[in-house]
Amino acid sequence: MNTKELLKKVRKIEIKTRRLSDHIFGGEYHSTFKGRGMTFSEVRQYQFGDDVRSIDWNVTARYNEPYIKVFEEERELTMMLMVDISGSELFGTNNQFKKEIITEISATLAFSALQNNDKAGLILFSDEVELFIPPKKGKRHVLRIIRELLEFHPKSTKTDIAEALKYLTNVMKKKAIVFVLSDFIADEYERTLKIIGNKHDVTGIRVYDEREENIPNLGMVQMQDAETGVIQLVNTQSRKVRMAYGKYHKERADYFKETFTKSGCGVINCRVDESYVKKLLGYFKRRG
């Protein structure tokens, strides 16, 4: 992809996702993810309806009329996007790859953080951490995140979610809002996720294709494993083969849901042909 094409794609995603974050997600994001606490702002005269527990008795005694302390939410937060860029993300049967949906969701979340003056960072991972962009503020920084999501080429096609989560513990010492975006066709990350979930506010966003849930009867089909590169003939006429295929993906989906739920983390399931806008909004409103 040349520079002109890349800038055109970045601009297209910016226009779409920024409009969503400005008009829909900004407020929901703010109400869902709270600041670190309340910080003192000022003292003002008591007004009817104010909480009497906020009265500043020292100032009240000095002026012989009631005054209250006003506090503001200490808002600044850090959001980390952990994005799976393994080979299986380059799959899709409804005119869009899983990677494209993941990029749009990531951009929407990044712009929501920008609108709320929060920092945003990025970890791209396969079976290793391929790229780490430390959290920062600003539009230029968000656009850099989008560029990397669009054009970064991983060294590996495999997936290791646990390895990426371990890396997060090393680079993020303070509490962060963490979104893990993947198809979660993996396992053995339960132990690491539990540690992460105790420290950070974690949400897993599973993006998948309907053909991963059930394979149609297409006769003998040549298939390639996107992560290993192995090519083999598959008899999709066989009901046993189709059931085994569906069973494998259901087990991965169930493991994802159970593992994240047990670890106290949020769960969003989004099929490629579904509206991720509705999915995110529903999740934010449930949590808000």
- Give, for 178, the enclosing helix (H) or strand (E): strand 177-182
Give the residue among 208, 217, 181 at the shortest CA–CA distance from 84: 181
Please tell me the predicted confidence (pLDDT) of residue 31. Answer: 65
Task: Please tell me the predicted confidence (pLDDT) of residue 68.
Answer: 87
Top pLDDT among 281 and 225 is at 281
Q: Give CA separation, 153 vs 82, 147, 149, 158, in Å.
A: 16, 12, 9, 13
Res. 72 pLDDT band, cuts 50 70 90:
low
Q: Determine contact, residues 79/105, Cβ cutoff 8 Å.
A: no
Residue 284 pLDDT grade (very low, low, confident, very high; cuts 50, 70, 90) = confident
* Calpha distance 283→268 (Å, rounded): 7
Q: What is the mean pLDDT of residues 27-49?
A: 69
| C-alpha of 241 from chain center | 33
Residue 184 is predicted with a pLDDT of: 96
What's the confidence (pLDDT) of residue 189?
96
What pLDDT band is residue 216 in, cutting at 50, 70 and 90?
Answer: confident
- Return the minimum-mean-pLDDT range out of 25-34, 249-258, 274-283: 25-34
- pTM comes to 0.79
Q: Does 6 have pLDDT greater than 90?
A: no
Give the pLDDT score at 75: 53
pLDDT at 83 (0 to 100): 97
- Start-to-end CA distance of the chain, whole Å, equals 40
Strands (E), the chain: 37-45, 67-74, 78-84, 119-125, 129-136, 177-182, 201-208, 220-224, 231-235, 266-271
pLDDT of residue 163: 96
Q: What is the pLDDT of residues 176-206, one digit of tens each?
A: 999 999 999 988 999 999 999 999 999 999 9
Mean pLDDT of 61-84: 82
* β strands within 183-235, DSSP E: 201-208, 220-224, 231-235
Kindly give the pairing relationship between strand 67-74 and strand 78-84: unpaired
Q: Which domains does the chain have, with CATH numbers?
A: 3-32+76-209+262-287 (3.40.50.410), 37-74 (no CATH)
Whether residue 52 is predicted with pLDDT greater than 80 in this model: the reply is yes
- Structure token digits, residue 5: 């094409």
Report how far apart, in Å, the C-alpha atoms of 51 and of each of 47, 55, 66, 74, 224 are.
9, 8, 12, 20, 65
